[in-house]
Structure 1
Amino acid sequence: MPATNRSKLAAFDADAVRRTVQDTVSGPLLTFCEYDTESFRPLYVDDRTISMYDSRDAMLEHFERIHTHVHMDFMQSELFKNTLFPDAERVEYVTTAMDFLKVLRVYIDDDGLFIAIEPDEPVVPIVDAIKATLEWPPNQNS
């Protein structure tokens, strides 16, 4: 049975966003977490992901190890916006594709979403669905 939690970190309705993402993906949603620079909270972890770990503690330890790196996303976003591309209003998302997994990290102000999906899952429909759910204002590139 998948593990679920209610959102407690994000300033927006991350639970509604999770439901939207689950309805949007063509394959399984493997993991959906909310995070900020200080902490993370898994909101959904599917059975297959859970089975990859020996215990709940081992899974959370791995998630914590991941989070120690993804919090740097916010610093990197500032670098891109303020230094490298000063005309950009925001960095919206970053995708990391691996042979067995694709990770989509979406940034909404000071909050982030960490979404793990199948490697062949398209990310643009997911981002578009998130934007529609949050009534995200368009930027100059939208």
Structure 2
Amino acid sequence: MPATNRSQLCSFDADRVRQVVQNTVSGPLYAFCEYDTESFRPLYIADETIAMYESKDAMLEHFERIHTNVHMDFMQIELFRNTLFPDADRVEYIATAMDFLKILRVYVGDDGLFVSLEPDEPVEPIVDAIKETVTWPENQNS
């Protein structure tokens, strides 16, 4: 049975967003987490993801390693907006595709969503569904 937790970090209803994402993806949703610069909270972990690890502790240790790096996304957003592309109003998401997995990180204000998917899953429908579910802050990334 998949592991689930209730949202505690996001300023919006991340539990509802998770449901919307699950209904939007065409393939499996491996993980859905909320995060900010300080914390990382898994809201959904699929059975396939749990089975990849020797134990729950090993899985949580790996997730902590991921968060140690993913929190840098917020610094990267500033780099993109303020230095590399100053004409951009905001950075909405970053997708990382690997041979076995795709990671989508979506930013809503000071909150982040971490979504792991099949490598061929299109991300634009997922981002569009999230945008339809939450109100994007006017001061996104400012």
TM-score by structure 2 length?
0.94
Structure 1: gaps spanning 5 or more residues: none
1:137–1:65 Cα change, 3 Å: closer
Q: CA separation in 2, counterparts of 1:120 and 1:80? A: 26
Q: CA deviation at 1:111?
A: 0.8
Equivalent in the alignment of 2:124: 124
Equivalent in the alignment of 1:87: 87
What stretches of structure 1 move > 3 A for 4+ residues in a row? none
Deviations 1:13-58 (A, max 9, x none): 1001000000000011000000001110000000000000011111
SS in 2 for 1:81: helix
What are the equivalent positions in structure 2 for 1:1-142 lying under 5 Å apart?
A: 1-136=1-136
SS in 1 for 2:34: strand
What is the count of residue pairs matched by the alignment?
138
SS in 2 for 1:119: coil
SS in 2 for 1:17: helix
Give the aligned residue type for 2:40. Answer: F
Percent of aligned positions that are identical: 77
Q: CA separation in 2, counterparts of 1:36 and 1:126? A: 20
TM-score by structure 1 length?
0.94
Q: CA separation in 1, counterparts of 2:64 and 2:35? A: 11
Q: CA deviation at 1:135?
A: 3.3
Structure 2: gaps spanning 5 or more residues: none
Q: CA deviation at 1:87?
A: 1.5
SS in 2 for 1:104: strand
Give the aligned residue type for 1:78. Answer: E
Which region of structure 1 is more displaced relative to structure 2, 85-94 or 67-76?
85-94
Q: CA separation in 1, counterparts of 2:115 and 2:67? A: 13
Q: CA separation in 2, counterparts of 1:31 and 1:92? A: 19
Q: CA deviation at 1:137?
A: 6.4
